[in-house]
Chain A
Amino acid sequence: MKSLVHGTGPKKLRPSSEVVSAARTTEKLRASEEQFRLLVNGVADYAIFMLSPTGHVVSWNTGAERIKGYSTEEILGRHFSCFYPPEDIESGKPEKELESAALNGRVEDEGWRVRKDGSKFWANVVISALRDESGDLCGFAKVSRDITDRKNAEEVKRLNVDLERRVMERTAELAAANKELEAFVYSVAHDLRAPLRHIHGFSNLLADHLGVSSDEGTKHYLESIQGSTRAMGNMVDDLLNLSRVARAELNLQVTGLSSLVDEVLKELGPEIKDRQIEWKIAALSFVECDPVLVKQVFVNLLSNAVKFTRTRHHAIIEVNQAEIDGQSVTFVRDNGVGFSMKYSDKLFGVFQRLHRQEDFEGTGVGLATVQRIVQKHGGRIWADAELNIGATFYFTLATQAPAAITVEGGAS
């Protein structure tokens, strides 16, 4: 091995018979060493090189050149610490590894190493001490492998495991939050409505009790109490409905939207019997949707249209469909009081109202519920309005959306 380290071949000897035989042996050895040198030199996947006892590079193979980026001429004679990152050099790691190899015969390490261009790679390194026949240290053999890919794969695997764990944690947190929310809703449904019922009930009984003896002031106060109680009752009920809608599972059925509109118009009967309304109801398409929920969309949009055209002598309410950007859009248009588009971002917020309670009653939950239903169907809702001219509410029920996504995915 020692001769291999220094790369010096056997000396030429005179050919006597003994000498010839010795020469042959030496020649064989030389040939074998040469073969070995070629073999090592040809290895491309491993950096295999020798260091002097002081850690200076004395041999270099193809793999070393490929992995570390130095040519043989560049590196021979340089100290091997140039393969380490600065923080390792500072902490004296290269020297410590040599000391350890000298002491134990061998040291193995995994860590970052630096290429000639300064880039880093994750290396598996084995350093073996080389000793001559008398046991004196004559250098080190160092074999390094670039296992950055493996390291990255491990890192990806670790990140995936970590991600999975975090998803599980978040899911558990969400489930807990959901459960809490459900308990809250249940409590609202059962416990918060009761006092309202009692206030309304007893103020009613008080009014009966006072009967004709109550003066105008007393009547006014009692009516205010009852009005507010009713209003809060409606808010609680609308909120509970919103939460029910949000939690509902879609029960998809092919549904004629026209039949839903017809049902809603029938139910609106009492509200519109004294009104002059010109209805322009077009034939609407069949769509796959949850009919119970989508009916609620029409109930809200149509009763809003009826409500906000109340001040019109000749109210016009239109229900129709149009194709916008290749998508079927259903809309409800009225010539009512409308609203300023300045406030359009508040339209679908819970408890957000754009009109005064004394002008147009309402809880401010209806459009929030409508939006939730449309979104549950993968659709979208928006409005277009002008103050004192009217309003149009558009919505899509994008049941075809998944197919469109597949087409996009296929094209990319």
Chain B
Amino acid sequence: MNTDEVEILLVEDSPNDVELTLHALRKENLSNNIHVVRDGEEALDFLFCRGTYDHRTQERPPKLVILDLKLPKITGLEVLRAMKNDIQTRAIPVTILTSSKEDRDLVESYKLGVNSYIQKPVDFNQFRETVKQLGLYWLVVNLSPPAGAFAKKQQGQPG
């Protein structure tokens, strides 16, 4: 898959959660353009087109980032902070999808400007329904900004 066509970036370290989330999205035909990264560092590399993702362009950011909070290396909150602090990634909708609904996680996430916060239900049927609604809303109902609107203009480029 061309990583420039990614619609959903799923940031999730647990392989079980990856499998269950992809399964739920696939059922709604929402899984064609999903890219999975397994820690916060890789998520930032992807979003800022660096490291193994330096061939990517920021012209076409994902339509949605699904972000877990507890991640190796760089936590979900740090990824969120980095994204919302940068003009190029600020407009990308971020949904926290995590196990906890502890007040401090909720408060911190909203302080940093998260677009949505969802607690993963234990019941798989509820989980499926939640993921379905989440995907439909951000990919189908919600309007994204025009492509390239927030990308850095190349230096010396004519026009």
A197 with B102, Cβ < 8 A, contacts A190-B70, A202-B16, A204-B125 known:
no
| Interface assignment of B63: CB less than 8 Å from any CB of chain A | no
Contact between A198 and B101 (Cβ–Cβ < 8 Å)? Answer: no
Interface residues on chain A, number (Cβ under 8 Å): 24
Are A201 and B16 in contact, with the CB atoms below 8 A? yes
Contact in complex: B125, A233 (CB < 8 Å): no
Cβ contacts under 8 Å, B121 to chain A: 197
Q: Are B124 and A201 in contact (CB under 8 A)?
A: yes
Say yes or no: A201-B20 contact (C-beta < 8 A), given A196-B122, A233-B123.
yes
**A120 close to chain B: CB less than 8 A:** no
Q: Indicate if the CB atoms of A200 and B124 lie closer than 8 Å.
A: yes
A233-B100 in contact (CB<8A): no
- Within A167-226, the residues touching B (CB, 8 Å) are 185-186, 189-191, 193-194, 196-198, 200-202, 204-205
Please report whether the interface of chain B is mostly helix, strand, loop or mixed according to DSSP.
loop
Q: How far is the CA of A204 from the CA of B126 in the complex (A)?
A: 12
Q: Does B144 contact A (CB under 8 A)?
A: no
Is B84 in the interface zone, CB < 8 Å from A? Answer: no
For residue B10, CB closer than 8 A to chain A, the reply is: no
Complex formed: what's the CA distance from A237 to B101 in Å?
Answer: 10
How many angstroms from the CA of A191 to the CA of B98 in the assembled complex? 10
- Is there an interface contact between A193 and B120, defined as CB atoms closer than 8 Å? yes
Query: Cα distance A240–B121 when bound, in Å?
Result: 14
Residue among B16, B101, B102, B103 with the highest chain A CB neighbour number at 10 A: B102
- Chain A binding surface SS class: helix
B16 and A200 form a contact (CB under 8 A) = no
Residues of B within 8 A of A205 (CB): 20, 23, 124
Scoring B residues 1 to 21 as 1 if CB is less than 8 Å from chain A, else 0, what string do you get?
000000000000010110010
Q: CB-CB < 8 A to B100: which residues of A? A: 186, 189-190, 193
User: Are the C-beta atoms of B125 and A197 separated by less than 8 Å?
Assistant: no
Given contacts A201-B20, A205-B23, contact A194 B124 (CB under 8 A): no
Report which residue of B98, B120, B124, B127 has the largest number of chain A beta carbons within 10 angstroms of its beta carbon. Answer: B124
In the assembled complex, A230 has its CB within 8 A of some CB on chain B: yes
| Chain B residues closer than 8 Å to A186, beta-carbon distance | 100, 102
Residues of B within 8 A of A193 (CB): 99-100, 120, 122
CB distance from A204 to the nearest CB of B (A): 4
Pick the contact of B99: A190, A232, A244 (CB < 8 A).
Answer: A190
User: Could you tell me if B124 and A197 are in contact, using CB atoms closer than 8 angstroms?
Assistant: yes
Q: What mask results when residues 21 to 65 of chain A are scored 1 for a CB within 8 Å of chain B, else 0?
A: 000000000000000000000000000000000000000000000
Residues of chain B contacted by A232 (CB below 8 angstroms): 122
Minimum CB–CB distance for B151 against chain A, Å: 35
Q: At the interface, yes or no: A363 with Cβ under 8 Å from chain B? A: no
Identify which of B69, B103, B127 contacts A197 (C-beta below 8 A): B127
- B14: A residues at CB distance < 8 A: 194, 198
Q: Are B99 and A197 in contact (CB under 8 A)?
A: yes
Question: Assuming the A-B contacts A189-B101, A244-B103, are A197 and B70 also in contact, with contact meaning beta carbons closer than 8 angstroms in the complex?
Answer: no
* Beta-carbon contact of A185 and B16 below 8 Å: no
Is A144 an interface residue when CB atoms closer than 8 A count as contact? no
CB of A369 within 8 A of chain B?
A: no
A194 touches B102 (CB 8 A): no
Cβ < 8 Å to A, chain B residues 91-148 = 98-103, 120-125, 127
How far, in angstroms, from A98 to B17 measured CA to CA in the complex? 89
Q: Which residues of A contact B125 (CB under 8 A)?
A: 204
What is the bound-complex CA distance between A234 and B14, given in angstroms?
Answer: 22
In the complex, how many angstroms separate the beta carbon of B69 from the nearest chain A beta carbon? 7
Check if A200 sits within 8 Å of B123, measured CB to CB: yes
Q: Which listed residue (A194, A233, A234) contacts B17, Cβ 8 A?
A: A194
Is residue A371 within 8 Å, beta carbon to beta carbon, of the partner chain?
no
Q: Assuming the A-B contacts A190-B69, A194-B14, A201-B127, are A229 and B102 also in contact, with contact meaning beta carbons closer than 8 angstroms in the complex?
A: no
Q: Point out the residues of chain A lying under 8 angstroms from B17, CB to CB.
A: 194, 197-198
Complex-state Cα separation, A236 to B120, whole angstroms = 13
Task: Report if A197-B20 is in contact (Cβ < 8 Å); known contacts: A204-B125, A229-B122.
Answer: yes
Minimum CB–CB distance for A250 against chain B, Å: 14
With the chains together, A196 CA to B122 CA distance in Å? 6
Chain A contacts of B99 at CB under 8 A? 189-191, 193-194, 197
Does the CB pair A230–B98 fall under 8 Å?
no
Q: Are B101 and A197 interface neighbours, CB within 8 A?
A: no
Taking A194-B14, A202-B16 as contacts, is the C-beta distance between A233 and B101 under 8 angstroms?
no
20 pairs, A vs B, C-beta closer than 8 Å: A189-B100, A189-B102, A190-B70, A190-B99, A191-B99, A193-B100, A194-B16, A194-B17, A197-B122, A198-B14, A198-B16, A198-B20, A200-B124, A202-B20, A205-B23, A205-B124, A229-B122, A232-B122, A234-B122, A240-B101
**Given A191-B70, A197-B17, A197-B20, 12 additional A-B pairs, CB 8 A:** A186-B102, A189-B99, A190-B98, A194-B14, A197-B99, A198-B16, A200-B124, A201-B16, A201-B20, A202-B20, A233-B122, A234-B122
